Amino acid sequence: MMELFATTAFLFCAALFAFLLAINRVRLYNKLKEPNNNLCATENTCCGEIKLQNGELPAGKLPTRKPPARMPTVMPSDKKAKKVVPLSVNYHFTRKCNYKCGFCFHTAKTSFVLPLDDAKRGLELLKNAGMKKINFSGGEPFIVKKGAFVGELVKFCKQTLGVESVSIVSNGSLVSERWFEKYGEFLDILAVSCDSFDADTNEKIGRQQGQKSHLISLRSVRRLCADYKVAFKLNTVVNTHNKDENMVEEIMQLNPCRWKVFQCLLIDGENTGPDALRRAESFVITNAEFDEFLRRHKDVEYLVPESNEKVRALCLVGSYCYIRPNAVCEPEPRFS
């Protein structure tokens, strides 16, 4: 009986918050320029999302054993909201990562990952509620069971649930051809984070592991996406170390279906504040510096800018919500 109540409450909460997302989606966003790639044209996880996250404990107090595997029992904050459809879901199933990017706002405060069967059960509930798009992120998604965990979720969503758009956001360093051979046919879009095409700059940012070149990994993933017919996307965070860089030539060579350019953002408890594991204040740039970066790259037709003002506006009206497996619901992050 308790399990039925938990799953029902989870489904209702997901539908509730999706309603808040949908009614503000058209108002806040100008229509994005449609890229040439049809797969990318169907993927727009920057708005209208529900963001699922793993359980979280205070910094320095990691659990000695895994929390009990159960679905969220989050009670809605607005009882008058109508039942609607959670069209787009962004599932951050892990906080662990093999990189140490100094501005990261989803840090490894816990190693907990929901058991695979429970994760599938939650995804099935969302699909039954009308989910059409799912994006898997982290942390680094490919770090859990050497990519098998996210691979099984991708396969389940596409093959079993028939989700229209299935995507992953990764740093690309752990992606292998063996993974593509097993799971590539079920993946629509793979987005790779790349903040610089200069090795020294990537080292300063922390976007690397040991002596392994991030740029070599990036180009390898680009080739694999082409070989296995998976749409390739790029994400870049503009910060103090790369704000003056001109990436036009390299971006054109990679030819992603979409290039999302973010302004470095501070979130209390994640990359700033007393409870943060990382301090990103030194990475923050001004709005003018971000605008100058965009001006320098204005000829890249598939560039999609994500300024801090835009992200804050989305969160303040409920376009992002955090649903945690420990039954804690946060409608928005705490900006600094």
Q: Which residues are catalytic?
A: 97, 101, 104
DSSP helix/strand/coil, 323: strand
Cβ contacts of residue 6 below 8 Å, gap of 6+? 70, 71, 72, 73
Burial tier of 207 (Cβ tally within 10 Å: 0-12, 13-18, 19+): buried
Cα–Cα distances in Å, from 42 out to 51, 98, 133? 18, 30, 9
> CA-CA distance, 278 to 272, in Å (whole number)?
7
Indicate the pairing of strand 258-263 with strand 231-238: parallel
Contact 253, 302 (CB under 8 A): no
Looking at this protein, which amino acid is placed at residue 114?
Answer: L
DSSP 75: P
